[in-house]
Structure formats: C-alpha cells, structure tokens
Structure 1
Amino acid sequence: MKRRNFLKKGLQVASLPALAMHYPSRTLAGSNSNLKLSLNAFSFNAALRDGSVGIETLFDFCAGQGFAAVDLTAYYIPGYPEVPSDEVLFGIKKLAHHRGLHISGTGVRNNFTESDPVIRKGEIDLVKRWVVAAAKLGAPVLRVFAGPRLQEGMVWEEKAALVVEACRECAAFAANHGVILAMQNHNEFIQSAAQVEQIMREVDEEWFGLVLDIGSYSQADPYEEIQKNIRYAVNWQLKENVNHFGIQKPVDLAKLMPLIRDSDYQGYLPIETLGPGDPFEKVTRFLARVRAEMG
C-alpha cells in the first residue's frame, strides 16, 4: 500500500471529509519540501546507558544542532521495559516541547518469532504497553522488530507467519491509539527487500509500515533494495554506512537522497551514527553531510 493511499484511508476512517474542502490533494512524488531531520537516540547509546548523558542533555544538543525532532528509543526511558508513570512520560514530552523538538518516534526490543505461546504473548503485550506510552509521548510511530536471526533447522516461512500474526494484532491495537506500528528491517530475521515485501503484504494493516533502515540490506545492492521498499516507509534510519553485499561502505548520500525525493515520503528523516568515537562529534559531522545533500 502506498503511503498516500494509507493517508486517504486514514481520513476516511476518521470521517473528516471537510479537510478536502480546505486542503486539496497534491502530488507528493518528487517533492521534499516537508522532509525534516531527527536524531535517533541510539547514536548516544553507550552514553545514555552509562548515565554520562541524560535525556535532557540529549535534547539540549538536538535543539542546538537545529534538529526538528528526536527518535527516543524506549530503552533510554527510566524503568524500561516497564512503562513509567504518566508523570515521567509527560515530563519528557514537556522537555522536548520547551526546546522546540518533537518526538518523531520511539521503539522497543521485541521478538515476534518466539514459538512458545506464553512468551510470545508477553512480547505482544510489551508492544501494546509501549503503544500506549508512545501515544502519551506524542510519538506518531512505534518501532518494533521481527526477531533474531534464524537458528539452524528453523524455517523462515514458519517464523514469518508468527511475525505477521503478531503484527496484525499489534497494528490493530495501535490504530485505536493513533500510533503507527512500524517494523524495522534490522538485518536479523529480516535481511532483504523481498522479505520486507512479504511481511508488509501479508500484514496489510493501514496502521502498519516500515522503519527503513538503510544500513541493514546485506544481500544485494542496498540502494536497489531501498528503492524496492521505499513505498512502505513511515520512518527511517539514515546511517553513516550501508551494508553492500555484506561489506560496510560509507553511505552515498548523492545516490540516496534522490530516491527519497522521488518517492512520496514526507516527514522525519532520523539520522543515526554508530561505532566508537565521541557521539557529539560524529553526529555533528554526519548531520552536516546530510544537510549539504538535502540542499
């Protein structure tokens, strides 16, 4: 389903025909006028986990760099995997607002390939609890995973059926809270554009999409894979490197950005830096590269 069809269906569900009178439809393809940069908090993973950087410091940095938003993974919210009190969630929302930032998304670490029904129900319940938390944070997207890489003897199609079933249930739940459930292709259970395509097609829920991770296509040319899946993107992870046939190479932004511009994607482009080094410096350098290519 193309994003523009998703949006049209969303308006029908919300029963808001009056919007068409004031905001006529327009062709989004080829326009990047409403692309905005966000920072994925995983760029500061080690510092956030060891406490040397806190959420407030992260927000201050993002505001100072002129980011429009922060993608605040739930791991960095005190108490995870438990959902904190409304006081904590609303406090984070207020911290962001006072710095002119939106929360472009959040995410959890889950495993929908788990065969044990009791454990799997726990994974689904984890996602549902954080759907509610995402709505309270004002995050439009909750990122989930499919699961880890297959172990020897496992059959991909059998595990994929479990993933699809769980995603349908969670996406239907998320729709009732105004949150888009988005699966990240993370080079674990999902490793190719064809696998993304199969899961997206079989889930077929209006409130389900893709967090397009440009660094996680390891079996083919990553730019060709991105182009195949871009119509499902509801959020992104723009990384410094792509995985070109299993080899890490610096992202070719001159090749990537036209793919995004020529799609109908509008919204946040979260960037993410990985590996050793000062995250403040690494993010600043990569942000400058992305901005230069965006023009």
Structure 2
Amino acid sequence: MEKPQSSRRNFLKTAVAGVPLLVGETPSVTPLIADKPERVRLSCNLYSFNEPLTSGQMTLEQVLEFCADLGFDAVDPTAYYFPGYPALPDDTYLYQIKRKAFRLGLDISGTGVRNDFTLPDSTRRKAEIELVKKWVGFAARFGAPVLRVFSGTGKELKAGYNREEVTTWVVDAIRECAEFAAGQGVMIVLQNHADFIQTADQLLDIIKRVNSDWLAVNLDIGSFKIGDPYAQIARAAPYAATWQIKENLFVNGQEVGTDLPKIMQIVRQSGYRGYLPIETLGKGDPRTKVPVFYEKVKKALKSYE
C-alpha cells in the first residue's frame, strides 16, 4: 500500500501533467475509477431493518445504536423511515437523527426515495421529479452525499409504449433532478432494481445519455436477474458511487448465495473508494441476520485489502 504522502505527490504530478484522472467513454460521463482503491468501508442500508422499523418494534435511533455497536462506519436510511413520508419530516427531528448518528460515530452514506419516471402522464412524471427535488434538499440538510432513485416500474412497456420512448422520459427526468441536485451538493444515484432497468447496458445507457457529473450508479448486486450477474456487476462497477451488497443474487434467473470474495475482487478492480452498504432481505430477525452478514462481508473485504 502506498503511503499517503506518496499518493498526494502522485496526484499532484498527474494534475500538473494534465493527464485526466478519470477515463471514460464520453468527455463528461466517466467511470468513477481511482488509481489506489485504499478506502472502502461498510455501511448498513436500513432496509435491512424494514420489518422492525415499519412495525414499531425498533425506532430509527435504536437501529442507529445497533449499527454503531456492531461496528459499521455509516448508515443509509431510506427516506420512508422518516415520519410523514412522502412529506418531509420536521427539521427538528431530521437534525436529531443527524446528531444521533454523529455522536455514535456514524457517517450518513446516503438516503433514497421511491419514484417512478416511467409514467406516461407528463403531469405525474413532473410530480415525481418534484418529489425527488424535495428530498434532495432533505439529503443536503441531513448530510447525505447521495440520493438513491429508481427509473420506474416500466409497466408501460406492456401497455404499448416502446422502450426508447420510455427511456427518453426517464433520461429527461433524471437530467432535471441531477441539475437541481448539483446546486445542493448532492449526487443522484440510479439504482438497478429489476424493473425498467434489467441489465447493465440499460443502466449505463441512461447514465451516459444524462451525461452529468452529478449522476452515478447505485449498484444493487441482487437485481441483475438475466444471465451472469457478476459480468454485469463488473460492467457497471466503474460507474458506481455507492452499492447494495446482498446475501443472494440471481444466476441465470436462479437465486443463489453471493460469492462475496468475487464481489470484493470486482470492487477492488474497479478502483472504487467509498462505502459498501450491505442489505439483508427476507425472513428472520435483522438483529441476528445483519451481524452474520456483516462479518462475512468484512472478512471478504479484508482478503482484498
């Protein structure tokens, strides 16, 4: 591992020489690749605690305490765990949670919303855009560097609309959101969610067409359900600004356990620096499941340090 001082010198040499630090297929939209991927830490996507959070068994504060005690560096609480969603929570409560995380030593690695940009009604799509913009402001005040969004369900493809037409709706909506988010200092991250976006090519097509430094990928490893997921994850990885690491993924449509060492190899080879949020799904108490999966991911990550 190169010493920090040496890394800084190399950065300055590269910058002075005028060589681009990031190389991509278009002038503006580039894979997010760093030369020395030395900083990868673990976050908890709080959807892992969806059942106890939505049933009232645990409060958001209690989940933060659990994650801090377990050893996570950060948390990623989705917006709908705040009271009143989709309306914004009172700033007093927002800052209470922000303070709680800070005092527990937890960063906020991101947050996210539910949205659908594939709706054929332009008025409804505009409302979805305004929803995202509203929560961009929340993310900025909360200290979340990214806001996760979806493309949408894509049900309209079955109603006679073609993919190119719907993709244009999605691209236009995300571009407007990214332009707004840039002014708030928040990145929009597009999640592949096995909905309108089924493949890495479809995901990256949208990323490249929007062509914004304030848009990147939220790489959900469990939502590529066609063909070889590892090949698709590797293709999308250089464009990721955050991830969702899951216990299972789909190989040729069949759900199997994730090969975590293979995922960590892809993470390292992509040059990714940042947080890897983990997310456990399905039945079982997350207070049991999350610690088990956390240890597995930590072990796999350590093997590639």
What TM-score results when the alignment is normalised by the length of structure 2? 0.87
> Equivalent residues in 2 for 1:166-185 (5 A)?
166-185=173-192
Cα deviation for residue 91 of structure 1 reads 1.1
For residues 13-36 of structure 1, what are the alpha-carbon distances to aligned partners after superposition, in whole Å with 9 as ceiling and x for unaligned?
xxxxxxx89963788657442001
Q: Identical aligned pairs, as a percentage?
A: 47
CA distance in 1, matches of 2:69, 2:36: 27
For residues 145-179 of structure 1, what are the alpha-carbon distances to aligned partners after superposition, in whole Å with 9 as ceiling and x for unaligned?
00014342231111110000000000000000000
Q: Any idea what SS the aligned residue of 2:41 has?
A: strand
Query: Aligned pair 1:105/2:149, yes or no?
Result: no
CA distance in 2, matches of 1:158, 1:242: 30
Conservation of the 8 A alpha-carbon contact between 2:118 and 2:152: yes
Matched with 1:262 is: 269
Q: 2:254 aligns with which of 222, 241, 247?
A: 247
Q: Which letter does structure 1 place at the counterpart of 2:59?
A: G
Q: Which letter does structure 2 place at the counterpart of 1:199?
A: I
Cα deviation for residue 115 of structure 1 reads 1.5
Query: Aligned pair 1:63/2:51, yes or no?
Result: no
Query: Aligned pair 1:287/2:263, yes or no?
Result: no
Q: Which letter does structure 1 place at the counterpart of 2:230?
A: Y
Q: For residues 29 and 135 of structure 1, do their structure 2 counterparts lie closer, same or farther at Cα, with a shift above 3 Å needed?
A: closer
Conservation of the 8 A alpha-carbon contact between 2:78 and 2:111: yes
Cα deviation for residue 101 of structure 1 reads 0.3
Matched with 2:28 is: none
Matched with 1:89 is: 94
Q: For residues 174 and 40 of structure 1, do their structure 2 counterparts lie closer, same or farther at Cα, with a shift above 3 Å needed?
A: same
Cα deviation for residue 86 of structure 1 reads 1.6
Q: Which letter does structure 2 place at the counterpart of 1:177?
A: Q
Matched with 1:199 is: 206
CA distance in 1, matches of 2:95, 2:276: 24
Q: Which letter does structure 1 place at the counterpart of 2:243?
A: W
Q: Any idea what SS the aligned residue of 2:270 has?
A: coil
Matched with 2:132 is: 127
Cα deviation for residue 79 of structure 1 reads 1.1
CA distance in 2, matches of 1:95, 1:22: 38
For residues 48-88 of structure 1, what are the alpha-carbon distances to aligned partners after superposition, in whole Å with 9 as ceiling and x for unaligned?
11111111110001100110000000010111101112212
Query: Aligned pair 1:219/2:230, yes or no?
Result: no
- Segments of structure 1 that go 5 or more residues without pairing to the other structure are 1-19
What TM-score results when the alignment is normalised by the length of structure 1? 0.90
CA distance in 1, matches of 2:221, 2:249: 6
Over aligned residues, Cα RMSD in angstroms? 1.7
Query: Aligned pair 1:228/2:216, yes or no?
Result: no
CA distance in 2, matches of 1:286, 1:147: 29
Q: Report how many aligned residue pairs link the two structures.
A: 276
CA distance in 1, matches of 2:12, 2:257: 40
CA distance in 1, matches of 2:234, 2:284: 31
CA distance in 1, matches of 2:300, 2:191: 24
Q: Any idea what SS the aligned residue of 1:228 has?
A: helix
Q: Which letter does structure 1 place at the counterpart of 2:216?
A: G
CA distance in 1, matches of 2:286, 2:220: 19
CA distance in 2, matches of 1:117, 1:198: 22
Matched with 1:210 is: 217
